[in-house]
C-alpha cells in the first residue's frame, strides 16, 4: 500500500513591523475600493494579506483602528502628491491644473471619499491627519493663488482677493471630489454619462472652468 506524500507546511514569511503594516494597509485599500469602509472586516483583510487575524489586531488594535490608519494614509498620500507637483511649479504654466487634479483623484478614487465621510460621521479621531491635511491645503493654497493671479491677465488682483478666491476654488474642488467619490457612479447613470465622460471628461471640463 502506497501513501501519498504529505505536502510541506507553508513557509512562514518573516516581515518587519513596517512591512507587515504596509502589506495590511495595501490589502485594506484594495478591499476599501470594492466594498467601502463598512466592509473592512479584519477576517477578509487577513485573508487578502495572507496574515493572521491576531497580526492585524497587533498592529491596528481593531477594525476601526485600521480604518483610521487608512484615512491617515490617504492624507499623507495626498500631501506627497501635491508637494511633488509643487516642487515643479516654477517650470509649470500657471494655468496648469495638475495640482487640483491630484486633489480630485486622491479624494474621489479608490474609496477614499467614502472612508473620509465615514470617519467624519463616526467622529473618528484623526488629529494627526487633521494637522497634515491643514498643512497640505496651506501648500496647495500657494499654487492656486498664483493660478488665480495668472488668470486675471493684465488686471491686478489684490493678494487678499486672490487668496479668498483660491480658498473658494479649493473648497469647491474638494467638495466636488468627495461627492463624486460617494455618489458619482449613481449620479452619472441618472444624468446619462458614460464612464469616460463621468471621469476624465468631467474633470477636464471642471478644471477648465475653475479659473474662467
Co-location of 25 and 68 in the same domain: no
Co-location of 129 and 172 in the same domain: yes
Co-location of 85 and 55 in the same domain: no
Parent domain of 25: 14-61
- Digit-coded pLDDT (tens) for 63-116: 888 888 887 777 777 767 766 766 665 666 655 667 777 778 877 877 778 777
For 100-132, letters b (16+ CB in 10 Å) and e give bbbbbbbbbebbbbbbbbbbeeeebebeebeee
CA 53 – CA 63 distance, rounded (Å) = 11
**CATH code, 79:** 1.10.357
pTM: 0.65
Q: How many domains does the chain have?
A: 2
Q: What share of the chain is helix, strand, coil (3-state, %, to 5)?
A: 75, 0, 25
Co-location of 86 and 52 in the same domain: no
Co-location of 69 and 50 in the same domain: no
- Digit-coded pLDDT (tens) for 31-50: 887 777 777 888 888 888 88
Co-location of 150 and 55 in the same domain: no
Amino acid at each position: 500500500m502506497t501513501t501519498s506524500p504529505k505536502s510541506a507546511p507553508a513557509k512562514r514569511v518573516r516581515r518587519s513591523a513596517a512591512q507587515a503594516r504596509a502589506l495590511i494597509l495595501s490589502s485594506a485599500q484594495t478591499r476599501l475600493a470594492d466594498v467601502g469602509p463598512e466592509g473592512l472586516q479584519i477576517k477578509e483583510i487577513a485573508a487578502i494579506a495572507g496574515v493572521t487575524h491576531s497580526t492585524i489586531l497587533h498592529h491596528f488594535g481593531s477594525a476601526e483602528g485600521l480604518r483610521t490608519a487608512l484615512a491617515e494614509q490617504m492624507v499623507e498620500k495626498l500631501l506627497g502628491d501635491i508637494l511633488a507637483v509643487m516642487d515643479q511649479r516654477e517650470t509649470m504654466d500657471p494655468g496648469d491644473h495638475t495640482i487640483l487634479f491630484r486633489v480630485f483623484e486622491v479624494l474621489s478614487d479608490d474609496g477614499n471619499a467614502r472612508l473620509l465621510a465615514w470617519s467624519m460621521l463616526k467622529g473618528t479621531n484623526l488629529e494627526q491627519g487633521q494637522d497634515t491635511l491643514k498643512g497640505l491645503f496651506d501648500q496647495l493654497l500657494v499654487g492656486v493663488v498664483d493660478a488665480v493671479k495668472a488668470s486675471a491677465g493684465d488686471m491686478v488682483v489684490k493678494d487678499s482677493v486672490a487668496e479668498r478666491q483660491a480658498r473658494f476654488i479649493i473648497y469647491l474642488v474638494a467638495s466636488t471630489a468627495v461627492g463624486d467619490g460617494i455618489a458619482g457612479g449613481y449620479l452619472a447613470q441618472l444624468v446619462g454619462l458614460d464612464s469616460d465622460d463621468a471621469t476624465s471628461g468631467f474633470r477636464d471640463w471642471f478644471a477648465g472652468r475653475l479659473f474662467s
